Structure 1
Amino acid sequence: MDSCTRYLIFFQYIGTKYLGVARIPPHQHWKRGVQNHLEEAVRRLKPVNPVSLTLSSRTDTGVHALSNSAHFDLQRRNGKPPFSEDVLVGSLNFHLKDEQIRVTRARRVSADFHARFRAQSRTYVYRVTLGASHYSQLPLTEAGLCWHPRSTIRTLDVGAMSQAAALLIGTHDFSSFRAVSSDLPFKSPVKTLDVATVRPGNSSLLTHFHREIPMWELTFKGRSFLYKQVRRMTGALVAVGLGQLSVSQLREIMEARDTLAYPNGLSAPADGLFLTAVDYREEDLQLPQQTSEEQRPSSGNLD
């Protein structure tokens, strides 16, 4: 019997309508996870083998991604050759139809490749706007895609935020930034944060109803993160920027190494959080031997 072909796909989604990226069991909820829709799209390619995606990175309800990744195996019927990468991308997007999910790239990888464990880093960007006392003051294009703290302050003390962010960089025990409700307390709280920056967003001033609305982007990069760690770090840094928390107080929270030391109500909501990159070593993506035999069926007829 012919062996399966393993693919690594990169995909993006607007997380507002999904219960996170992970698969939701049937009949458990009226909403589904992004994984449910991706697996259904793969099943429509009519593989011989059962379909199961392995995600590189989990995101919660309401969190978005510009680039998440997952691997899966696919064996075609009757000894047909593997799909080419571009045909696979086009076919999956055809079957995703109107879902707010798009597959952007695909790579054929070795049979022992693992999307989660081979990932070298993950990058998150959190988008924050100020000066909007109500969500209706934001452009429709930004609805659910940024956080607008209800504050009369129209600017952030980026200098203080950068000082606070510098305390987070490096290898630390991030227990204070792990969510209280985390169901994975056995995971090591020691993580390495390679990047923590605060900069004006690409659209640093959103013009809406003749008002200018400043936007900032907080970027965090590391190999892995604790549950809700990025949202809790963001909330603390924004509090520093608004003068609600001092740099020394943030240091004390971090050094407490206790999730209960984190102030109640400080964590940032899901809306403004984007997973923007999952990076791999190029050598890990190489096939031992590239096969040239590929078939290009139409998107609508993949029997």
Structure 2
Amino acid sequence: MAAAARGAHWHEDRGAPSGILERLNSVLPVKFIISSRTDAGVHALSNAAHLDVQRRSGQPPFSPEVLTQALNTHLRHPAIRVLQAFRVPSDFHARYAATSRTYLYRLATGCPGPSQLSVFERNRCWALRADCLDVAAMREAAQHLLGTHDFRAFQSAGSPSTSSVRTLRRASVSPDPASPFVLPQESRRLQFWTLEFESQSFLYRQVRRMTAILVAVGLGALTPTQVKVILESRDPLGRHQTRVAPAHGLFLKSVLYRDL
């Protein structure tokens, strides 16, 4: 199934919003496997998970449409909405079968502090005091991250991954039009940007660390060449690797599978 979720209610240690598993299990025992376990506070425009659902003997399988409606009816959770359900083979695994994951990170410049943001944008972007970013330098730095590399320097401690080699297919920086919730007087001083990253899989906090490094480049604290040096150092404890972008600006945009 595909589901959208607000990050404020997400529990990273459980891999699901608070109360979800309890409500599902109150109806029938389920095995719930999520494709991407995100940090607390990270949002999901479309995450994926698989459920093993049993029917009474002799009953036909649930249709995807009926299952989607039933899940939303029983969940009744303000932070999550099941978008779509699919029938998959019994050996399907939501985490290991994914062929692509895309994350986007939202930035706002020209903001003295989070309290200056529209109430509808709070906890939806990283508010930066700087009036502008050197976007050309950020894009140049992002080019160093593309391709297959050992991303150990961008991995936080506690990662369960046995290998830190990943292939980054996309790393882009683009303007993000102000949302309709931003007032005209606010849009004159605020500018929104979106960083987008695509890979089959990511290391623990890799996206938030890459974002923090690219923002440092945009602010002039690092150069694109230094990003290449950091990547090649493979040192997660280097002096520049303490930077981690806040969780609330990050969105899991999509998880893709072959033949789905």
Tell me whether the two structures share a fold, i.e. TM-score over 0.5: yes
8 Å contact from structure 1 (residues 124, 221) kept in 2: yes
1:195 is matched with 170
Name the amino acid aligned to 1:243.
G
How far did 1:177 drift?
Answer: 0.3
Name the amino acid aligned to 1:64.
H
**Once the two structures are superposed, what CA deviation does each residue of 1:246-294 show, in whole Å capped at 9, x if it has no partner?**
1111111111111012526521010100001000111xx4xxxxxxxxx
In structure 1, which of residues 249, 265, 268 is the aligned counterpart of residue 226 of structure 2?
249
8 Å contact from structure 1 (residues 39, 52) kept in 2: no
Identity of aligned residues (%): 46
Partner of 2:66, secondary structure, is helix
Distance 1:266 1:208, change over 3 A: farther
Which runs of no fewer than 5 residues in structure 1 stay unpaired? 1-8, 25-32, 286-303
Task: State whether structure 2 residue 21 is matched by structure 1 residue 39.
Answer: yes
How far did 1:78 drift?
Answer: 4.2
Distance 1:192 1:183, change over 3 A: closer
How far did 1:125 drift?
Answer: 0.2
Task: State whether structure 2 residue 158 is matched by structure 1 residue 182.
Answer: yes
Task: State whether structure 2 residue 69 is matched by structure 1 residue 90.
Answer: yes
In structure 1, C-alpha distance between the alignment counterparts of 2:10 and 2:179, rounded to whole Å? 28
Kindly report which structure 2 residues correspond to 1:127-138, keeping only aligned pairs within 5 A, or say none: 127-138=106-117
Distance 1:70 1:16, change over 3 A: same
**Once the two structures are superposed, what CA deviation does each residue of 1:192-235 show, in whole Å capped at 9, x if it has no partner?**
00000000114379744722210000000000111000000000
8 Å contact from structure 1 (residues 176, 262) kept in 2: no
Which 4+ runs in 1 deviate beyond 4 A? none
Name the amino acid aligned to 1:23.
R
What is the TM-score when the length of structure 1 is the normalising length? 0.80
2:186 is matched with 211
Name the amino acid aligned to 1:39.
L
- How many aligned positions are there? 258
What is the TM-score when the length of structure 2 is the normalising length? 0.93
Partner of 2:245, secondary structure, is coil
Partner of 2:74, secondary structure, is helix
Which runs of no fewer than 5 residues in structure 2 stay unpaired? none
In structure 2, C-alpha distance between the alignment counterparts of 1:204 and 1:190, rounded to whole Å? 36
In structure 2, which of residues 89, 98, 104 is the aligned counterpart of residue 119 of structure 1?
98
In structure 1, C-alpha distance between the alignment counterparts of 2:2 and 2:159, rounded to whole Å? 27
